[in-house]
């Protein structure tokens, strides 16, 4: 668990640096361009959902079958080349599908003409570039290195888009040019990941694809095919909200929704970090049939994911009114406050259930995920279709929460039945009580009543110290995590020595 926590912390530092930059943009830039950010976030959501069609399961296969091909640098290069060839075929397929259904897609979002039509037609390019960046990040995790790829991916996007909008707000470039230049940021991201990956391998990145046995080829093909539909359905379950909200309302509404969603995504950073580093470790453990190690990681990640995400959720929730008060156009963005709360609870649910998707992906029961997520994706689409016309943003967020709870429960039950393991310990309810106590303490400082921006910022800092201080103190005192307590002691010792 040591390397997982170390790499997880490094990844979290990078991610939170990016989140800090993104938060500045969310607070001070994006509220000024609600319509425009709504369009860009919709394209990004479509790209995220459609990326599995490009990848054809190659990103999951990159970690699942890497142990089979890691004997020599040439074997690794051949495997990496095979993954890229598969994704290239998927890129051609997605491009053809988009332009085949171009007219109904443009009609759904009411962008049949004008400059926004040409912008929306860039969607396939965003899909392809995002897909390849995911492939390269997954493959790099085989070397148990996630911090640098995260820095390349997170910082480039979090810095690039706000800078482009600053130029747009100052009438230096047009919105159309913002989108074209943002597309180039994705190109730079993919190239940067390839360059970094080259520093990790001792041989070439690409080579001729070697012949493999018919059995292994069939195993890779079947595994990848199942994971295409699994990944696609999972993403539909968690991202269809923004896509349908934009089509059924307008881009301004989806802009407000996306800003609150971005604030809420801060809560999910620890899970993203631990998932990337545990993915190849679970793959290796499954290959060795080391169920004891899998069970230990299952409970440990659940505890640490929930601990970090709960602290962040409580901190954000206690200061959200002050955050809205310092935003330009904050009254409009505050209309999505309930969205932030609902999506925040959804993230807590994802975190407390731990690495259930990874365990199933790398097990012989991975086919179960397909049936589960297809059902839940269909259920989520139905819920969004039912709830958005009546409740708009809140309806979309509620549909996501329902799907998130249902999906995690199905995975939990399946793992419990097959592997006889589960993620929860007595520490989870104790953490929940600590979170409630910390939130209650934060109420001592009234929120949303500051007369100036500086007073609001001071309130946020003071409240964060109270909430975070009590949370960490109780967690440490009750010895809920030996790993976290050790990190705190080491940090305190380094400060004292200075």
Tens of pLDDT, residue by residue over 106-162, are 999 999 888 899 999 999 999 999 999 999 988 887 776 666 777 777 778 888 999
| Closest listed residue to residue 297, CA positions, set 272, 275, 312 | 275
Tens of pLDDT, residue by residue over 447-459, are 766 667 888 888 8
CA distance 310 to 352: 9
pLDDT confidence band for 268 (50 / 70 / 90): confident
Longest distance between any two alpha carbons in the chain, whole Å:
71
CA distance 415 to 498: 47
pLDDT score, position 103: 92
| Closest listed residue to residue 42, CA positions, set 379, 403, 396, 377 | 396
> Residue ranges of the alpha helices (H) in 326-366?
330-333, 337-352, 356-361
pLDDT score, position 146: 63
CA distance 38 to 120: 12
CA distance 222 to 69: 18
Say if CB 153 and CB 170 are below 8 A apart.
Answer: no
Say if CB 21 and CB 158 are below 8 A apart.
Answer: yes
pLDDT confidence band for 295 (50 / 70 / 90): confident
Query: How far, in whole angstroms, is CA 370 from its chain's centroid?
Result: 20
Tens of pLDDT, residue by residue over 367-410, are 787 777 788 888 889 999 999 999 999 999 999 999 889 889 98
CA distance 164 to 152: 18
pLDDT score, position 77: 81
Residue 101 burial (C-beta neighbours within 10 Å; 0-12, 13-18, 19+): exposed
pLDDT score, position 387: 95
pLDDT score, position 429: 92
Query: 175 or 68: which carries more pLDDT confidence?
Result: 175
Place of tokens 């990040």: 137
pLDDT score, position 14: 67
pLDDT score, position 448: 63
Q: How far is CA 119 from CA 122, 339, 349, in A?
A: 6, 28, 36
């Amino acid at each position: 668990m040591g390397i997982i926590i170390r790499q997880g912390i490094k990844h979290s530092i990078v991610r939170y640096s990016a989140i800090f930059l993104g938060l500045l943009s969310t607070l001070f830039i994006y509220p000024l361009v609600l319509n425009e950010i709504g369009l860009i976030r919709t394209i990004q959501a479509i790209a995220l959902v459609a990326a599995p069609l490009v990848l054809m399961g190659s990103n999951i296969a990159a970690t699942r079958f890497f142990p089979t091909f890691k004997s020599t640098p040439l074997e690794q290069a051949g495997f990496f080349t095979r993954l890229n060839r598969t994704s290239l075929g998927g890129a051609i397929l997605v491009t053809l599908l988009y332009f085949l259904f171009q007219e109904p897609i443009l009609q759904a979002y009411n962008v049949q003409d004008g400059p926004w039509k040409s912008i929306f037609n860039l969607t396939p390019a965003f899909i392809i570039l995002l897909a390849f960046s995911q492939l390269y990040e997954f493959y790099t995790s085989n070397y148990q290195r996630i911090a640098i790829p995260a820095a390349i991916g997170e910082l480039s996007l979090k810095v690039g888009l706000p800078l482009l909008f600053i130029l747009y707000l100052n009438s230096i470039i047009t919105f159309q040019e913002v989108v074209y230049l943002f597309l180039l940021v994705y190109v730079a991201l993919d190239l940067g990941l390839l360059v970094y990956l080259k520093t990790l391998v001792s041989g070439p990145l690409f080579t001729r694809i070697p012949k493999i046995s018919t059995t292994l080829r069939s195993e890779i093909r079947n595994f990848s095919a199942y994971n295409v539909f699994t990944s696609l359905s999972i993403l539909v379950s968690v991202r269809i909200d923004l896509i349908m909200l934009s089509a059924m309302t307008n881009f301004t509404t989806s802009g407000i929704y996306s800003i609150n969603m971005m604030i809420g995504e801060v809560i999910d950073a620890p899970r993203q970090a631990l998932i990337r580093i545990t993915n190849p470790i679970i793959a290796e453990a499954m290959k060795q049939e080391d169920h004891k190690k899998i069970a230990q990681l299952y409970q440990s990640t659940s505890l640490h994911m929930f601990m970090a995400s709960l602290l962040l959720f409580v901190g954000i929730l206690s200061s959200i009114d002050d955050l809205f008060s310092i935003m330009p156009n904050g009254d409009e963005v505050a209309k999505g406050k309930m969205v932030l709360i609902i999506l925040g609870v959804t993230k807590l649910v994802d975190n407390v259930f731990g690495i259930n998707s990874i365990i199933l992906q790398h097990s012989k029961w991975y086919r179960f995920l397909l049936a589960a997520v297809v059902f839940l994706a269909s259920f989520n689409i139905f819920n969004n279709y039912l709830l958005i016309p009546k409740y708009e943003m809140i309806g979309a967020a509620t549909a996501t929460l329902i799907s998130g709870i249902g999906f995690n429960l199905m995975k939990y039950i399946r793992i419990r039945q097959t592997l006889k393991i589960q993620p929860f310990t007595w520490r989870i309810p104790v953490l929940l009580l600590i979170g409630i106590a910390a939130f209650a303490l934060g109420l001592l400082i009234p929120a949303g009543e500051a007369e100036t921006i500086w007073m609001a910022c001071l309130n946020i800092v003071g409240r964060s110290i109270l909430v975070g201080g009590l949370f960490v103190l109780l967690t440490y005192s009750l010895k809920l995590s030996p790993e976290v307590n050790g990190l705190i002691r080491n940090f305190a010792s380094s400060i004292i020595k200075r």
